[in-house]
Structure formats: C-alpha cells, structure tokens
Amino acid sequence: MKRIIDFLFSLIGLIILIIPFTLIGLLIKIKMPGPVFFIQIRVGKEGKPFKLFKFRTMSVASGKTNGSFDAGDSSRITPLGRILRKTKLDELPQLINVLIGDMSLVGPRPEVQQWTQIFPDQWEIVHRMRPGITDNASIMFRNEEEILANSQNPTLTYKEEILPKKLRMYIDYVENHSILIDAKIILTTIKEIIVK
C-alpha cells in the first residue's frame, strides 16, 4: 500500500508541478551556470546506492565527488540556492526518485556512504525501508545548516550530536510506521515550510 501511494502521489505531483519545475530550471540556468540538477550518490534500501536528484543550489566546484558531503559547508550556496533551500523547493526532484522506486514520500533520509559507515548496526535497521523525502528527523533538524554553520567543528557536531539523534528517530519510524503517521508527517512538513 505504501508503494502504491508513493507511486500515485509522485506521478500526480510531477504532472502538477511541471510548470514550476520548468521555471526553476530556467532560473538555475540563467543565474547559476552549470547543470540544473545536483545528483549525488546516497545509500538506500538494503544498503544499495542510488542517484538522488535535487535542484542545484551551489556553484559548481571541481574536485567534488558524487558521494562527498562537507558538513556545514555553505560557502558555495548562491542567492537563488538559498531561496530554494529555505522553501525546500530544491527537494522537489526527489519525486522522480519516489516514482522510480528509489525513495518513498516519507521515510528516513538517505545519507552518503561515509556517514552510513558510522553506527553500522543502526543503519542496518534503517536500511530495511526505502529512504524518504521527509520524516520527523527532517522536521526536527530543519535548521541543521544553521547549527553546523555555527559550530567550530561541523563534522564532529554532525557525527556526535546530530546523527545519533537522527538514527534514533529513523529506527523509531522503521519500527512504528503507518499510513496515518506518514500523513501526519507530510502535513507537519508542509506546515513548517509555510510558517517558516
């Protein structure tokens, strides 16, 4: 049932949002020379890697790999990128991931491989499910970039403070998820975006 809902809602969403998608893509091309999409390798269900799609919010930098993640690094975020991130519009292309079955609308957020090698026993539980676009941890840590930017050691802060809390919430979702919980998370996510 969860997969059927994911497929139908992502398909409908992509159809409804085709005009906003096009406009955002044009703005990125005009304001931020380079590709429209940011594509990064993340770890999904059963530990299998997949390509996650986002609208690009940073200037292109050489030497970056698909799996890289520099905690707290916001130096390359463009003015347009900040707007896309604040409104979460940069996440919309993940509906493509949901449509093709790599992700779900609701579920634990997928990480890059370097972070899934930490606390592997917990990640093994998390990876029983498809990762999602949003979840309770995403809502709680909506200001994660701000927390990391204000940290003297963003990587250590993420590893020792943020990630353990996220994993506890991910595991709680895996063990207790339901359609009603998914609906509540989606509504809360929309509310958070509108209010803030």
Q: In whole angstroms, what is the distance from residue 61 CA to residue 180 CA?
A: 42
pLDDT in the model for residue 193: 84
Q: In whole angstroms, what is the distance from residue 109 CA to residue 136 CA?
A: 10
For the whole model, what pTM was predicted?
A: 0.89
Chain position carrying tokens 């799609």: 53
pLDDT per residue over 38-89, tens digit each? 999 999 999 999 999 999 999 876 555 444 455 555 668 899 999 999 889 9
* Residues in a beta bridge with 51: 41
Q: In whole angstroms, what is the distance from residue 69 CA to residue 178 CA?
A: 31
What domain count does the chain have?
1
Tokens of 88: 């979460």
Q: Residue 153 sits in which domain range?
A: 2-195
Q: What residues contact residue 182 under an 8 Å CB cut-off, 6+ apart?
A: 2, 5, 105, 106
pLDDT per residue over 111-145, tens digit each? 999 999 999 999 999 999 999 999 999 999 988 98
